Structure formats: C-alpha cells, structure tokens
Amino acid sequence: MPGRRTAAERSAAVFDALRRQLLDNPWRDVTLEAVANDAGVSRQTLYNTFGSRNGLAQAYTLALADVLCDVIGATVAEHPDDPRAGLEAGLVLFLEGAATDPLIGRVRDGDAHPDLVRLVTADAGPLLARAGERLEQIARSTWPALGADSARSFARVAARMALSYITTPPEHDESPAALAAGLSVVLAPR
C-alpha cells in the first residue's frame, strides 16, 4: 500500500509530534490522543507501541540519546587527526542539542510529572546504558589504541556527565564547551 509507513517512520512521526506538542503545551496537557492525531496514527497504535504516556516519554528520551550520540560520532569522525577537537565539538553539539529539546526543557522547568523526571534522574539506567553503549562504540572505533576498559570507562563518565548537564544546567559561568573541554583533556590530551 502506498500510504503505509514502516515502524521506524511511525516512531519518527510520533516523536516529532510529541516534540511539537511539548513546544506548545505544558507536559500535563500533552495527551496520547493529541500526539496520535498530530502524528497521523491511532491512539491504539501509541498504546500498543509505547504502553503509556510514560512509555512514550522513555522511548523518546532513548531516541534523543541516539540522535545526540550520532552527532558526537559524526563530529569525531570529521576530526580524524585531532581526537580532542572532535570530541570537544561533538560533546558541545550534544549538550547544546539536549538543552534545546522541549522534553528536557519541561523537566528543567519543573513542568513534568514526577514519573517523567525519574526517567532522566533516579530511573535513568536505560538512558545511561544506551548513551554509554553508543559512546563506547564511538570511542572504540575512533581510538582503537584506547583499549576496551578505557573506552568503557570514558563512555560511562561521558554519559553521566552529559545526563547531569541535561537535567541540571551548569552554573551561569560554565558552558557546554568548558565541560566538554574538561572531559576531552582527560581522554585526548594535547
């Protein structure tokens, strides 16, 4: 059928719809019905795919982590001869991209249900695992001499640092660039 979308296309449409809803409405007013209508899918499809509004939010955060890790991977690949510059630029883009996301904004502004806040704080295990795995793949492919244990340690620290920045913005005199530079010095000193 010409109008049928793949599961990945449906998920992308749903995440785009959720993002639009969050730009226009506080989290408490975002319903699965509104997201479904905006995405052009049935509410039952959302329930079948995500289970609940909380499940949709969790899937959205994991997809956001993937997108932001893709940014780091692409930026690191653009600097094959200068790993520090690539990592620093990638982490800056990661942190700046996360800072502009409306779901993260709702959490920061206190306009999110406690279940949503827990997804990026106390219950952030799946998010940390996803980001850590992706960052470890990037580190291992970019810096093969780093070794598996060091790549894993780097990835875990970078994932935790990024998540802490996302949920608690830095002090007024700190920037994403400063945070990224600090981590990149540890990994790839000049």
CB atoms within 10 A of CB 4: 7
> How far apart are alpha carbons 111 and 13 in whole angstroms?
24
Angle at 174 between CA 171 and CA 178, to 5 degrees: 150
Residue 138's alpha-carbon distances to 73, 93, 109, 181, in angstroms, are: 6, 15, 32, 17
Summarize pLDDT for 124-169 with one digit per residue, the tens. 899 999 999 998 998 888 878 878 998 898 888 888 877 887 777 6
The pTM is what? 0.80
> How far apart are alpha carbons 10 and 80 in whole angstroms?
35
Give, as one character, the DSSP assignment of residue 42: -
Summarize pLDDT for 104-119 with one digit per residue, the tens. 877 777 777 787 788 8
Assess contact for 98 and 104: CB atoms under 8 A: yes
CATH number of 1-51: 1.10.10.60
Between 62 and 181, name the one with better pLDDT: 62
Q: Could you tell me which of 126, 122, 158, 121 has the C-alpha nearest to residue 139?
A: 158
Q: How confident is the model at residue 64 (pLDDT cuts 50, 70, 90)?
A: confident
On the question of pLDDT at 2 being above 50, the answer is no
* Domain edges within the chain: 1-51, 53-187
Structure tokens at 127: 């998010």
Q: Kindly tell me the sign of the dihedral angle through the C-alpha atoms of 106, 111, 112, 118.
A: positive
Structure tokens at 130: 């996803």
Q: What topology is assigned to 53-187 in CATH?
A: Tetracycline Repressor; domain 2 (1.10.357)
